Structure 1
Amino acid sequence: MSSDPRQTSFEAANVRRKIETLSSTLTLPTVRRALGVLEGEHSSSRLGGNNDPLSTRDYTFEDEARLIDWKASAKAGHPMVIDRERLVTSRVHLLLDHGLEMEGRTSSGETASEVAGNAMCMFAALSARRHDRISLVFADSKNIIRKPFKGGLAQFERAIDNGLGGSKRSPRNFEALLSYARTLNDQGSLLVIATDEHALSQDHLHALRLIAAMHPLMLIDVATLNPFRKVGFGHITDGLDGRGIPSFLIRDSAANAVDTHRKYVTMQLQEQLKASGTMLIRATSSEDMFSQFINLVSVTLKQTSFQSPQSFSILEGGMA
């Protein structure tokens, strides 16, 4: 469903600013642990892992306790850390459903594309800090386009905004997007797919399981407007043919039935995806997406010893 909003997407822009601030504020060790919550790992010549030693240095409050080398510390008379080859994912694939259906509105007034785009910026912000190679892909029924970019978050934001604001869209082809994901042969690289709640179905579970067997997989599922729920902006119309929703259908009983059905379908899908090791974030807005992502990461980081209190304050509410 789409609408004619009487306001700009203030919420989308506000969350984008939060993402930019988060990217510049979090320490690199925290970024590494945050991405480690989600990603698969393989050998790399980067620091912070458990393999071959690369260098010795003084311990800092940002280091994890497990990195302390007690023999080197005893010789030096103070805590020392040995940096070792780190197990990391060196590439992150961000696949965005660019179909016409993604112009549907959410309850916040944002389009599904805006929410999905901000989700991709969230992942790119952390990955760029760690200097991972980021692959951004837009897909609809006519094209699958990889948008090249170089640099950090600012360059990524320009690439995704240019992609979302590009030429006239075609309807989605989610099956083609999943087929493309299955062709990615760098096993272990993190893969994020963003779409709306109408694209995902039981028919896609087999393809998703095959992808999750090769990659750590995260799905961003954007919830769009309930067509029978009253909204505080614009007039709800069908996003594909422009027909309006008859006023007599916009009532609480119909809206509650749709909400119940959507909740049931989401719970069933989430349980089945979890069984294959796939994470699902279902967001109703950019703010909701941002909060869920931060909560997911911070809950895991709390289980890490010697976590910086500053990192927790940022992750859990310092951005509000």
Structure 2
Amino acid sequence: MTTPPLAGPGGAGGSISSSQAHSRLAAVRARLDLPLVRRAAGLLDGRHRSLFSGHGQDFDEMALYSPGDDVGDIDWKASASTGHPVIRRFQRESNLAMVLAVDTGRNMAALAPDGGTKADIARFVADVVGYLARGRGDQLALVAGDSERVVQIPARGGTAHMEMLLRRIDAMFALDAPTSNITHVLDRVLTWFTRRSLVVVITDEVRPPLESEQTIKRLRTRHELMVIQVADALPTSFGDDAVEDVDSPLGIPEFLRARSDLAAEARDAVARRRSDVSAMLRRYGVQSVTVTSEADAVDRLMDLLRRSRRAGR
């Protein structure tokens, strides 16, 4: 297949690049500024103990003050007794155990509105989640798959685990992958995880489908759930370029691509599907966000975390 773009379900797309040899976590760190990382980590604070110390409710230990420690943690009475500044350390409240549930169907080979592949955006979102989990000392599990495959990796922490998990996701994205079936992935999460977790779903813009409603309902009673949907480019967005569909060999003739009424109809159809899926998720209190590019991925993720935190109060 040559340069013409490929249309996905309601969109368009291209080929997927191979895995990179460099550290994925280091690449994310280079793109994110420290204040943003701290805000995101704060929004993830939740209900189990992290490996880090901080301002929680459970006392951990007394320790000598070191440059960089918060002066507000100094225990002045203990400091007067010892003759040295002493601080009180507490266990920090952290987030729930985290599970990445990733759609790796060939629909993710389609183009996003920014002209890049949806898989590239999905990769970046997964990288950011992995980076935040690693930085907080949290554990991260993976369930990724499509209509024919499901890969599951148990929750662990540490850099080596995060890198391995992210590369496993990367290797599953391909134009010749089986068709998408995010319900298959969510059913596996439902049967595999008994401990209450934060499940971060990365999928197509019109998924999870309405047929997933009972699975969503059951998942929501057991876990915290948020959905990140990667947008499709419209098949009419490429002017004179030939368009093909990643799921079926349906081409759109040039004279039809040029018609403004066809473009408007395509936009309306996508909007209706988005609305139906959003309404289904809202019924069960599931927060979701649609990402259109790597450039807006972090802002959209931050917005999702803020809304999820407010909803959980």
The residue number in structure 2 matching 1:170 is 178
Partner SS for 1:159: helix
* Residue in structure 2 matching 1:20, options 25, 29, 36: 29
Which residue is equivalent to 1:252? Answer: 260
Once the two structures are superposed, residues 75-108 of structure 1 have per-residue CA deviations (whole angstroms, 9 ceiling, x without a partner) of: 6489986332333346321111111222121122
Q: 1:182-193 residue pairs with structure 2 within 5 A?
A: 182-193=190-201
Which residue number corresponds to residue 246 of structure 2? 239
**Structure 1 residues 267, 298: closer, same or farther in 2, change over 3 A?**
same
SS of alignment partner, residue 137 of structure 2:
coil
Q: Deviations over 1:4-32 (max 9, x none)?
A: 769989xxx9x998733256845986553
Match of 2:188 in 1: 180
> Does residue 43 of structure 2 align to residue 34 of structure 1?
yes
Q: How do residues 88-107 of structure 1 correspond to structure 2 at under 5 angstroms?
A: 88-89=94-95, 91-107=97-113
CA distance in structure 1 between the partners assigned to 2:232 and 2:153 by the alignment? 26
**Contact (CA 8 Å) 1:93, 1:192: kept in 2 or not?**
yes
Query: Amino acid of the residue matched to residue 50 of structure 1?
Result: G
Matches within 5 A, 1:191-270: 191-227=199-235, 229-231=236-238, 234-250=241-257, 251-270=259-278
Using a 3 Å threshold, how does the CA distance of structure 1 residues 48 and 29 change in structure 2: closer, same or farther?
Answer: farther
Residue of structure 2 equivalent to 1:122? 128
1:49-93, CA deviations, whole angstroms, 9 ceiling, x for partnerless residues?
A: 533201245598886x9xx469x3466489986332333346321
| Per-residue deviation, residues 189-231 of structure 1 (Å, max 9, x unmatched) | 211111112333333233213212222211111111212x232
**Unaligned 5+ residue runs, structure 2?**
1-6
Q: How does 1:26-175 map to 2 (within 5 A)?
A: 30=39, 32-36=41-45, 40-43=46-49, 46-56=52-62, 58=65, 68=72, 72-73=75-76, 76=79, 82-89=88-95, 91-146=97-152, 151=159, 154-164=163-173, 168-175=176-183
CA distance in 1, matches of 2:47, 2:119: 30
The offset of 1:286, in angstroms, is 1.9
What is the alpha-carbon distance in structure 2 between the residues aligned to residue 226 and residue 86 of structure 1? Answer: 45
| Mapped contact 2:226–2:287 kept (Cα < 8 A) | yes
Does the C-alpha gap of structure 1 residues 28 and 258 become closer, same or farther in structure 2, counting only changes over 3 Å? closer
TM-score using structure 2 length: 0.74
Taking the aligned partners of 1:249 and 1:171, their CA distance within structure 2 comes to 27
- Would you say the 8 A contact 1:29–1:62 is kept in 2? no
Residue identity matched to 2:270: R
Q: Summarize the Cα distance change of 1:226–1:33 in structure 2 as closer, same or farther, 3 Å threshold.
A: same
Q: Deviation string for 1:255-311 (max 9, x for gaps)?
A: 22332343344345335424533221211222222231245558999xxxxxxxxxx
Look up the SS of the partner of 1:106 in the other structure.
coil
Paired position in structure 1 for 2:3: none
Q: C-alpha distance in 2, partners of 1:30/1:185?
A: 28
Alignment-derived partner of residue 305 in structure 1: none
1:239 partner letter: V
Letter in 1 for 2:29: E
Structure 1, gaps ≥5 residues long: 302-320
Partner SS for 1:213: helix
Question: Does structure 2 retain, via aligned residues, the 8 Å contact 1:51–1:84?
Answer: yes
Alignment partner of 2:251: what SS?
coil
- 1:132, distance to aligned residue in structure 2 (A): 1.7
Greater shift in the superposed pair: 285-294 or 229-238:
229-238
